[in-house]
Amino acid sequence: MKVEPQRSCIGCGEKKDKKDLLRIVRSLEGEYAVDLQGRKNGRGAYLCKNHSCLEKAEKKKAFFRSFKEAIPKEDLDRLREEIKEIAK
Protein backbone atom coordinates (compact mmCIF):
# COMPACT_ATOMS: atom_id res chain seq x y z
CA MET A 1 0.00 0.00 0.00
CA LYS A 2 1.35 3.41 -1.04
CA VAL A 3 1.57 6.18 1.56
CA GLU A 4 0.33 9.60 0.40
CA PRO A 5 2.83 12.44 1.05
CA GLN A 6 1.80 14.87 3.82
CA ARG A 7 2.16 18.66 3.66
CA SER A 8 1.29 21.45 6.10
CA CYS A 9 -1.00 24.34 5.25
CA ILE A 10 0.86 27.63 5.75
CA GLY A 11 -2.39 29.24 6.94
CA CYS A 12 -3.79 26.92 9.60
CA GLY A 13 -0.78 24.62 10.04
CA GLU A 14 -2.86 21.45 9.67
CA LYS A 15 -1.17 18.46 8.03
CA LYS A 16 -3.09 16.92 5.13
CA ASP A 17 -2.46 14.73 2.12
CA LYS A 18 -0.61 16.63 -0.60
CA LYS A 19 -3.48 16.08 -3.07
CA ASP A 20 -5.96 17.78 -0.68
CA LEU A 21 -4.04 21.08 -0.64
CA LEU A 22 -3.42 23.84 -3.19
CA ARG A 23 0.17 24.56 -4.15
CA ILE A 24 1.15 28.19 -4.63
CA VAL A 25 4.31 28.32 -6.72
CA ARG A 26 6.86 31.04 -7.51
CA SER A 27 8.49 30.39 -10.85
CA LEU A 28 12.11 31.17 -11.61
CA GLU A 29 10.89 34.35 -13.35
CA GLY A 30 9.26 35.51 -10.10
CA GLU A 31 5.65 34.89 -11.14
CA TYR A 32 3.17 33.46 -8.63
CA ALA A 33 0.46 31.00 -9.61
CA VAL A 34 -1.82 28.28 -8.26
CA ASP A 35 -0.41 24.90 -9.32
CA LEU A 36 -3.35 22.49 -9.48
CA GLN A 37 -1.31 19.48 -10.67
CA GLY A 38 1.62 20.11 -8.30
CA ARG A 39 4.18 19.71 -11.07
CA LYS A 40 5.29 23.24 -11.97
CA ASN A 41 8.92 24.13 -11.39
CA GLY A 42 9.72 26.58 -8.64
CA ARG A 43 9.40 27.19 -4.93
CA GLY A 44 6.06 26.08 -3.50
CA ALA A 45 3.84 26.58 -0.47
CA TYR A 46 0.66 24.71 0.38
CA LEU A 47 -2.76 26.05 1.40
CA CYS A 48 -6.10 24.45 2.25
CA LYS A 49 -8.75 24.90 -0.42
CA ASN A 50 -10.62 27.61 1.48
CA HIS A 51 -10.42 31.37 1.66
CA SER A 52 -9.91 31.56 5.43
CA CYS A 53 -6.50 29.84 5.24
CA LEU A 54 -5.35 32.38 2.66
CA GLU A 55 -6.32 35.20 5.04
CA LYS A 56 -4.55 33.47 7.95
CA ALA A 57 -1.40 33.04 5.83
CA GLU A 58 -1.44 36.75 4.97
CA LYS A 59 -1.86 37.78 8.63
CA LYS A 60 0.94 35.46 9.78
CA LYS A 61 3.23 36.64 6.95
CA ALA A 62 3.61 32.98 5.98
CA PHE A 63 4.13 33.80 2.30
CA PHE A 64 7.15 35.93 3.20
CA ARG A 65 8.65 33.05 5.22
CA SER A 66 7.91 30.48 2.51
CA PHE A 67 9.17 32.44 -0.48
CA LYS A 68 11.81 34.62 1.25
CA GLU A 69 10.12 37.70 -0.27
CA ALA A 70 6.80 39.51 -0.11
CA ILE A 71 4.24 38.70 -2.80
CA PRO A 72 3.28 41.85 -4.78
CA LYS A 73 -0.25 43.07 -4.04
CA GLU A 74 -1.51 42.53 -7.61
CA ASP A 75 -0.27 38.91 -7.59
CA LEU A 76 -1.87 38.33 -4.18
CA ASP A 77 -5.19 39.73 -5.43
CA ARG A 78 -5.06 37.44 -8.49
CA LEU A 79 -4.26 34.42 -6.31
CA ARG A 80 -7.17 35.33 -4.02
CA GLU A 81 -9.57 35.32 -6.99
CA GLU A 82 -8.22 31.99 -8.29
CA ILE A 83 -8.61 30.37 -4.86
CA LYS A 84 -12.20 31.69 -4.58
CA GLU A 85 -13.02 30.06 -7.93
CA ILE A 86 -11.43 26.76 -6.91
CA ALA A 87 -13.20 26.75 -3.53
CA LYS A 88 -16.63 26.93 -5.23
- Residue 49 sits at φ, ψ, to 5 deg, of -85, 45
- Give the Cα separation of 77 and 17 in Å (integer): 26
Coil, helix or strand for 74?
Answer: helix
* Confidence category of residue 87, pLDDT binned at 50, 70, 90: confident
pLDDT of residue 57: 94
**pLDDT: which is higher, 86 or 9:** 9
Q: What is the pLDDT of residues 9-67, one digit of tens each?
A: 999 999 999 999 999 999 999 999 999 888 899 999 999 998 899 999 999 999 999 99
Check if the beta carbon of residue 38 is closer than 8 Å to that of residue 23: yes
- Give the Cα separation of 69 and 64 in Å (integer): 5
pLDDT of residue 38: 84
pLDDT of residue 74: 93
Beta carbons within 8 Å of 41's beta carbon, 6+ residues apart = 25, 27, 28
